[in-house]
A and B are shown apart, each in its own frame.
Chain A
């Protein structure tokens, strides 16, 4: 038992590095992805095609290939340490994945929401910041957490360029003791726990979306089911017909 606790403790710096790599990659990727989503909804054709090409490229490349391209390729031009290479590679990968989410979220803002804001004499800027943005942020959160899971797990690939993140440190600890399996399994357990934590956040966020907008990214199927259930439960409230006007309108 003590042996495994020691193992976990010796893996903690690796876990910390994995978390750090994932966090920085996501912090780079989300703003880039958001801007790409704006461009994909925009009217500038040249910019849009350029963005489509970049998104397709970095979604089509295996993340490992992007990492090699950055780590070995850019090394010819600028000096880049492992950490910088990892966050640059996974930053653009994350951006490419989230771009589509943000594009769809921005496109999904119903026209009526904007019209209602216009009818209330809000300025263009107010409409963007107070009506469109909350809508986009609300529905984009769950799928973006889904991408964060992919990014977090993806940081294990940094092992391939010799980074001492969680997988890398598990492997080297195993090499010292000539017992590879145990530290690898402990590392796998840590990945599993951390992934589950993120997946749980995704579920909570998705519930929140369903509660607020009555729709969610599962194509509305979940929301439709919830609506049906709600309708079955409440049924038709006939009492309203008998309520005197003064009661309803007070």
Chain B
């Protein structure tokens, strides 16, 4: 039998990993987006290389490498931390994309318009472009964060005691697998469906906003 208290305890760990990996990915993504948007070819290359490697290796392989393969002190010893780092790296590539596409969604005319009234580049970015780009970034970031949430399940494989971990262990000692895993699945749906709706709402709002500006 999968005890409710275990599900709740697992849920708490799931949410911690989700939040931790998300924050880490944003922290990593900002320099990555800046590197990729830079005019310097070397910086551009490094940014692209990071995104390529982060995305090109399956999240489970990242976790196994960090936890079993590397010796990064406490990170390689605590499964929850290893998972946060691994998933944060993978997600940074996607968040970097959403920052870039958010900026690109603002038409060139907005930069030109800002320049025409003699705004500095910094003012143009913070006062004109970002206010339009952020809704677009938020929408895709919210969508990617659903994938991130689901990927936290992988951490159970390296022993992080999140929801799937408890369900798996309960099944190993005789709990009914269908009930146990479906219970966890429903908890995931309770999280992903509202976040998905929120992402779609952000997306439609961002679209309306940009249409108002462009046309």
Direct contact of A and B (CB under 8 A): yes
Measured CB to CB, the residues of A under 8 A from B are: 56-57, 59-65, 68-69, 72-73, 75-76, 153-154, 156-157, 159-160, 167, 171, 174, 180-181, 184-185, 187-188, 191-192, 195-196, 199, 221
Q: Which residue of B lies closest to A158 (CB)?
A: B60
Contact indicator A73/B178 (Cβ below 8 Å) = yes
CB < 8 Å neighbour of B189 from A60, A68, A72, A167: A60
Give the shortest distance, in Å, between A232 (CB) and chain B (any CB).
12
Let me know if B22 is at the binding interface, CB within 8 A: no
A73 to B167, CA, bound (A): 12
Say whether B117 faces chain A, with CB atoms less than 8 Å apart.
no
Q: Interface residue count for B (Cβ, 8 Å)?
A: 40
Question: Are the CB atoms of B154 and A68 closer together than 8 Å?
Answer: no
B157 lies within 8 A of chain A by Cβ: yes
Smallest distance from the beta carbon of B41 to chain A beta carbons, Å?
20
Q: How far is the CB of A149 from chain B (nearest CB, A)?
A: 9
A-B contact count (CB 8 A): 113
> Would you call B44 an interface residue if the criterion is a C-beta within 8 Å of the partner chain's C-beta atoms?
no
Instruction: Please measure, in the bound complex, the distance between the C-alpha atom of A174 and the C-alpha atom of B64, giving whole angstroms.
Output: 12
Given contacts A73-B177, A180-B68, A185-B69, contact A64 B154 (CB under 8 A): yes
User: B171–A72 contact, CB under 8 A?
Assistant: yes
Q: With A167-B58, A187-B61 in contact, do A64 and B192 touch (Cβ < 8 Å)?
A: no
**Chain B at the A interface: mostly helix, strand, loop or mixed?**
helix
Q: List 26 A-B contacts (CB under 8 A).
A: A57-B185, A59-B192, A61-B150, A62-B188, A65-B153, A68-B164, A68-B171, A68-B177, A69-B177, A69-B178, A72-B171, A73-B181, A76-B178, A153-B59, A156-B60, A157-B58, A159-B64, A167-B64, A180-B69, A181-B69, A184-B61, A184-B65, A184-B69, A187-B61, A188-B57, A196-B52
* CB–CB B171/A57 < 8 A: no
